[in-house]
């Protein structure tokens, strides 16, 4: 019991990051098929971050602009979102689903678009 008291929060944090990694890599495996279905790849990092490095074919819509720019994302096709770590893209995914997008995938880091 002492072990869980001492290391429980760390174990939960490790489990959370492991889950995020697993989900992102699952989407990486699905990416070729999603692209064949006409997927839109959306990078929700800031314009400055995007200018420092981005994956070819990605659309940059910073998270704070997403609500106003959702019209730029076609409906009825898969939407794959990415950012620096997967956190902002997770929030973007929730926003997109709330607006009726049904095929939303969080690839985590934008670098995963390159795989």
pLDDT in tens, the chain (115 residues): 787 778 888 888 888 788 888 888 899 999 999 999 999 999 999 999 999 999 999 999 999 999 999 999 999 999 999 999 999 999 999 999 999 999 999 999 999 999 8
Strand, coil or helix: 51: helix
- Which tokens sit at 94? 């929730």
Element at 105 (helix H, strand E): strand 104-109
Residue 85 near residue 17, CB atoms below 8 Å: no
Domain ranges of the chain: 2-114
Strands 58-60 and 40-43: parallel
- We find that the CATH architecture of domain 2-114 is 3-Layer(aba) Sandwich (3.40)
76 is catalytic: no
Q: Which of 27, 31, 40, 83 is catalytic?
A: 83
Residue whose C-alpha is closest to residue 76's, from 107, 60, 100: 100
The pTM assigned to this predicted structure is 0.88
């Amino acid at each position: 019991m002492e072990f869980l008291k001492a290391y429980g929060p760390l174990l939960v944090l490790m489990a959370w990051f492991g889950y995020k990694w697993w989900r992102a890599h699952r989407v990486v495996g699905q990416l070729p098929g999603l692209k064949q279905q006409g997927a839109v790849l959306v990078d929700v990092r800031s314009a400055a971050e995007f200018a420092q490095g981005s994956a070819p074919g990605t659309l940059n819509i910073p998270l704070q602009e997403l609500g106003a720019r959702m019209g730029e994302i076609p409906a009825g096709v898969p939407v794959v979102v990415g950012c620096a770590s997967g956190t902002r893209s997770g929030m973007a995914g929730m926003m997109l689903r709330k607006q009726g997008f049904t095929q939303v995938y969080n690839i985590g880091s934008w670098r995963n678009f390159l795989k």
